[in-house]
């Protein structure tokens, strides 16, 4: 039987991709049987089912089945009422003075307003304060608050005022995560926007089938309605982009998908002839191609910036030559002719690329370029996508570096003074990320792209580095002579053969060892090899399934008998998949904690306190990270990691686990092989290996529009 609990949040324990857990004191406790001590309401649910992120001070109404138990909290007995996966979670506004005062004083949305000012507000306006906030009457509020605090109160209240529509949305089975996006964009017009066109739900992330059911059942939209036809094309384009990283689609790429969505070949043909009135997509009249508008806008913005920079001429050749000479004085050896060209072009051009495979001297060239820029007084912003790549870049070039995420959190570069942004491992950069970088910088800021476009394409849509090179418009120097790694390793030559689609005559040579085993035996062999040198080895695989299998086997065979990380929460004992001394991987950015998605370390302590479940020592910086409850959901064993997590990093000894995964193509294998600095083990069948080498790389199949725009 469902119960209803009204509470004021006092603690938010977890808010992650998987779970939200918070607790608070009942505002009205009549629904609960009181025993001794005080009552606490505990809520655990999925975050996508909440209308907003829970925060201390908020008022919530929880509907669902609860279980109660008496728990000891220090010297007190507390009556805990647990709602696990409640039927409904709603945010409410306080209706009396004391609760209003606590709400305003504690909620972070109302910055700068403490309990004293909140009490003055209630004493002055009582319940009419809600009408004042609804009407955004800043004049009346500034009788008590500063103008800045008054605006903060109005802005913060708007988030909660929109929640009065939550019931309307919930009754129509529109999930809270979609509601949040609607409120952010349409604000108080959110309901009307859906009444006008229910297929706007597709734009905000709802699957077409779910939006279609709502449109037909709640709004009686006919099957041939133009809004339905347009919604199907938009969804097909989004699905096409997500499945292959495409930014553009041909008619044949989405026709079958639209037909399936609409359930009619005739309607599909009609839909694909409609140029979207709402501009969620665009049909190119010359090529007949279909463009999802957000991606087209981003590609055009990026192309315009690159072309503008390409047409600029800053400085003089004498200035560049002098800077080059100064930078070369610090080199222990002479540059090759190709490397010299790369340095001079990178100095003369406002936008350019330095590309090349493993060991071809990209780092030497880049270090020389940046020393020359430094001599000319440029502000150098060297960035990379992953934390490990940024750290390695810093060690290589000697200049301050940061992750792209950290760069974007800094103030935008608005000055037109001398500045160059260097993007390392640029093959990993997708279109949305490049768009953000462009929007974050002054049009005069130079760009230098460094990377290897033969590697895995980015996870997100677009193909920035490959498209720039493909266009032939932006200057690119491709280094092709191996300068790093001694000849005994064999890795540079081996990787070049793979890149060119050639199967090496000798699969095992130098420091490269091919282990020809059946695919069913790959995991066991990887564990066996890892055990021979665990502290300098890294296993990489294509799928999460194989990664998990190898991690479990490594724990059972290498870290046998180690203590498991366990913790207690609200009287329940939880077991994690982690063991003391496990290598671990962080899978989510947490800048407050000092970790990025892809950070690797080792679980060194399980000592627990009220705020900690142990310690992780990071591999690169050797910093000790305190494991909070929030970090636990983004922490997993790191004996084996997916190649996307390893991209941008290198390891002394790499074990590559082959599989039958579709993504195992030439680019995947080439990227995996070039993760190794010295010793490489490839585990799998020879047939699988040869098939991967001959399989066309994914970036050749990805459909993008940037190269075309650059050529216009």
Q: What is the pLDDT of residues 234-251, one digit of tens each?
A: 999 999 999 999 999 999
Do 523 and 573 have their domain in common?
A: no
The tens digit of pLDDT for each residue in 112-148 reads 788 888 888 988 888 888 888 888 899 999 999 988 8
Do 337 and 477 have their domain in common?
A: yes
Q: pLDDT band at residue 483, thresholds of 50, 70 and 90?
A: low
Tell the burial category of 580 from Cβ atoms under 10 Å away from its Cβ (0-12, 13-18, 19+): middle
Average pLDDT over residues 7-30: 82
Phi and psi at residue 332, in whole multiples of 5°? Answer: -80, -10
Task: Strands of 295-423 (E only): list them.
Answer: 351-356, 379-384, 401-403, 419-423
pLDDT, position 563: 95
Does 71 fall in a domain? Answer: yes
Name the one residue in this structure whose structure tokens are 């990691």.
641
Provide the CATH number for the domain around residue 581.
Answer: 2.30.30
Do 435 and 578 have their domain in common?
A: no
Percent of the chain exceeding pLDDT 70 equals 96
Name the one residue in this structure whose structure tokens are 């995947």.
668
The tens digit of pLDDT for each residue in 160-172 reads 776 677 778 888 8
The tens digit of pLDDT for each residue in 401-424 reads 999 998 999 999 999 889 999 999
Q: Quick one: tokens of 251?
A: 């008619």
pLDDT, position 77: 78
Greater confidence, 599 or 481? 599
Domain boundary among 164, 189, 224: 164
Cβ neighbours of residue 219 under 8 Å, at least 6 residues apart? Answer: 195, 198
Do 272 and 305 have their domain in common?
A: no
| Distance from C-alpha of 684 to C-alpha of 520, rounded to nearest angstrom | 9
Domain boundary among 616, 638, 660: 638
pLDDT, position 73: 66
Provide the CATH number for the domain around residue 223.
Answer: 1.10.10
Does 712 fall in a domain? Answer: no
| CB half-sphere exposure, 254, CA atoms < 13 A | 36
Q: pLDDT band at residue 591, thresholds of 50, 70 and 90?
A: confident
Do 454 and 321 have their domain in common?
A: yes
Does 43 fall in a domain? Answer: yes
Least confident piece of the model among 290-294, 319-323, 448-452, 634-638: 319-323
Is residue 275 over pLDDT 90?
no
pLDDT, position 523: 98
Percent of the chain exceeding pLDDT 90 equals 58
Average pLDDT over residues 301-309: 98
Domain extent, residue 160, equals: 2-164
> Which has the closest alpha carbon to 544: 692, 643, 668, 674?
643
The answer to whether 363 and 389 have CB atoms below 8 angstroms apart is no
Is residue 36 over pLDDT 60?
no
Average pLDDT over residues 180-205: 90
Cβ neighbours of residue 494 under 8 Å, at least 6 residues apart? Answer: 504, 509, 510, 512, 673, 680
Do 21 and 68 have their domain in common?
A: yes
Do 573 and 551 have their domain in common?
A: no
Average pLDDT over residues 562-584: 86
The tens digit of pLDDT for each residue in 423-481 reads 999 999 999 999 999 999 999 999 999 999 999 999 999 999 999 999 999 999 999 88
| Distance from C-alpha of 303 to C-alpha of 264, rounded to nearest angstrom | 38
> Which has the closest alpha carbon to 616: 607, 625, 608?
625
With the C-alpha atoms ordered 387, 392, 395, 398, is the resulting torsion angle positive or negative?
negative
Does 269 fall in a domain? Answer: yes
Give me the chain's average pLDDT, please. 89
Task: Strands of 398-509 (E only): list them.
Answer: 401-403, 419-423, 446-451, 475-479
Does 353 fall in a domain? Answer: yes
Cβ neighbours of residue 506 under 8 Å, at least 6 residues apart? Answer: none
Is residue 352 over pLDDT 60?
yes
Do 252 and 366 have their domain in common?
A: no
| Distance from C-alpha of 248 to C-alpha of 301, rounded to nearest angstrom | 16
| Distance from C-alpha of 605 to C-alpha of 618, rounded to nearest angstrom | 13
* Structural domain count of the chain: 5
Q: pLDDT band at residue 31, thresholds of 50, 70 and 90?
A: very low
Most confident of the following: 62-76, 125-139, 197-211: 197-211
Does 130 fall in a domain? Answer: yes
Provide the CATH number for the domain around residue 446.
Answer: 3.40.50.300
| Distance from C-alpha of 296 to C-alpha of 291, rounded to nearest angstrom | 6
Domain boundary among 483, 503, 519: 483
| Distance from C-alpha of 215 to C-alpha of 19, rounded to nearest angstrom | 30
Does 83 fall in a domain? Answer: yes
Do 142 and 205 have their domain in common?
A: no
Average pLDDT over residues 509-521: 96
Phi and psi at residue 127, in whole multiples of 5°? Answer: -70, -15
Do 143 and 102 have their domain in common?
A: yes
Do 320 and 430 have their domain in common?
A: yes
Average pLDDT over residues 64-78: 80
pLDDT, position 487: 55
Does 295 fall in a domain? Answer: no
With the C-alpha atoms ordered 406, 409, 414, 415, is the resulting torsion angle positive or negative?
negative
Provide the CATH number for the domain around residue 15.
Answer: 2.40.50
| Distance from C-alpha of 652 to C-alpha of 439, rounded to nearest angstrom | 38
Q: Quick one: tokens of 578?
A: 């982690």
Do 258 and 208 have their domain in common?
A: yes
Residue 710's SS3 state is helix
Q: pLDDT band at residue 35, thresholds of 50, 70 and 90?
A: very low
Average pLDDT over residues 622-645: 91
């Amino acid at each position: 039987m469902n119960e209803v609990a009204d509470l004021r949040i006092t603690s938010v324990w977890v808010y992650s991709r998987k779970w939200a857990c918070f607790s608070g004191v009942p505002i009205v406790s009549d629904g609960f049987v009181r025993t001794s001590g005080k009552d606490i309401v505990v809520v655990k649910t999925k975050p996508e089912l909440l209308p907003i992120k829970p925060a201390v001070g908020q008022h919530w109404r929880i509907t669902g089945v609860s279980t109660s138990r008496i728990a000891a909290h220090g010297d007190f007995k507390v009556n805990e009422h647990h709602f696990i996966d409640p039927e409904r979670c709603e945010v409410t506004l306080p209706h009396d003075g004391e609760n209003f005062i606590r709400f305003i004083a504690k909620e972070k949305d109302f910055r700068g307003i403490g309990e004293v000012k909140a009490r003055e507000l209630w004493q002055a306006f009582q319940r009419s304060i809600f009408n004042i906030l609804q009407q955004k009457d800043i004049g009346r509020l500034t009788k008590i608050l500063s103008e800045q605090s008054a605006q903060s109160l109005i802005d913060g209240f708007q988030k909660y005022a929109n929640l009065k529509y939550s019931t309307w949305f919930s009754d129509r089975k529109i999930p809270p995560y979609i509601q949040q996006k609607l409120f952010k964009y349409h604000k108080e017009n959110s309901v009307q926007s859906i009444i006008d066109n229910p297929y706007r739900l597709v734009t905000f992330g709802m699957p077409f089938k779910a939006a279609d059911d709502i449109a037909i059942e709640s709004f009686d939209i006919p099957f041939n309605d133009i809004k339905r036809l347009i919604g199907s094309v938009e969804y097909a384009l989004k699905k096409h982009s997500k499945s292959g990283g495409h930014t553009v689609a041909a008619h044949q790429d989405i026709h079958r998908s639209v037909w399936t969505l609409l359930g009619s070949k005739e309607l599909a043909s009609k839909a694909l002839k409609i140029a979207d009135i709402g501009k969620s997509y665009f049909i190119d009249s010359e090529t007949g191609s279909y463009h999802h508008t957000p991606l087209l806008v981003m590609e055009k913005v990026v192309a315009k910036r690159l072309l503008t920079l390409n047409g600029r001429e800053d400085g003089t050749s004498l200035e560049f030559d002098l800077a080059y000479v100064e930078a070369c004085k610090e080199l222990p050896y002479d540059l090759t002719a190709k490397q010299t060209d790369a340095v001079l072009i990178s100095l003369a051009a406002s936008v350019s690329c330095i590309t090349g495979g493993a060991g071809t001297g990209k780092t030497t060239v880049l270090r020389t370029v940046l020393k020359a820029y430094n001599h000319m007084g440029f502000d150098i912003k060297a960035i990379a996508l992953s934390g490990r790549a940024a750290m390695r870049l810093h060690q290589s070039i000697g200049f301050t570096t940061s992750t792209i995420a950290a760069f974007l959190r800094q103030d935008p570069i608005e000055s037109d003074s001398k500045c160059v942004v260097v993007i390392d491992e640029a093959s990993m950069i997708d279109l949305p990320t490049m768009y953000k970088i462009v929007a974050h910088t002054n049009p005069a800021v130079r760009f230098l792209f460094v990377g290897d476009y033969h590697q895995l394409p980015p996870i997100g849509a677009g193909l920035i580095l490959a498209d720039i090179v493909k266009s032939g418009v932006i200057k690119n120097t491709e280094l092709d002579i191996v300068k790093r790694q001694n000849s005994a390793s064999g890795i540079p030559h081996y990787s070049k053969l793979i890149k060119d689609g050639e199967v090496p005559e000798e699969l095992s040579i130098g420091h490269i060892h091919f282990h020809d085993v059946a695919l069913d035996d790959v995991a066991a062999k990887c564990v066996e090899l890892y055990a021979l040198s665990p502290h300098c080895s890294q296993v990489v695989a294509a799928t999460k399934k194989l990664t998990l299998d190898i991690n479990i086997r490594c724990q059972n065979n290498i870290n046998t008998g180690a203590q498991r990380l366990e913790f207690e929460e609200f009287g329940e004992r939880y077991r994690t998949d982690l063991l003391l001394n496990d290598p671990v991987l962080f899978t989510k950015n947490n800048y407050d904690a000092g970790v990025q998605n892809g950070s690797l370390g080792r679980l060194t302590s399980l000592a627990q306190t009220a705020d900690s479940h142990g310690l992780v020592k990071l591999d690169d910086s050797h910093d000790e990270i305190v494991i909070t409850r929030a970090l636990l959901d983004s922490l997993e064993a790191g004996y084996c990691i997916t190649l996307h997590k390893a991209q941008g990093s290198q390891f002394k000894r790499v074990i590559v686990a082959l599989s039958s995964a579709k993504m195992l193509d030439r680019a995947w294998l080439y990227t995996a092989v070039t993760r190794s600095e010295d010793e490489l083990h490839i585990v799998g069948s020879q047939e699988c290996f040869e098939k991967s080498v001959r399989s066309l790389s994914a970036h050749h199949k990805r459909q993008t529009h940037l190269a075309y725009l650059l050529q216009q």
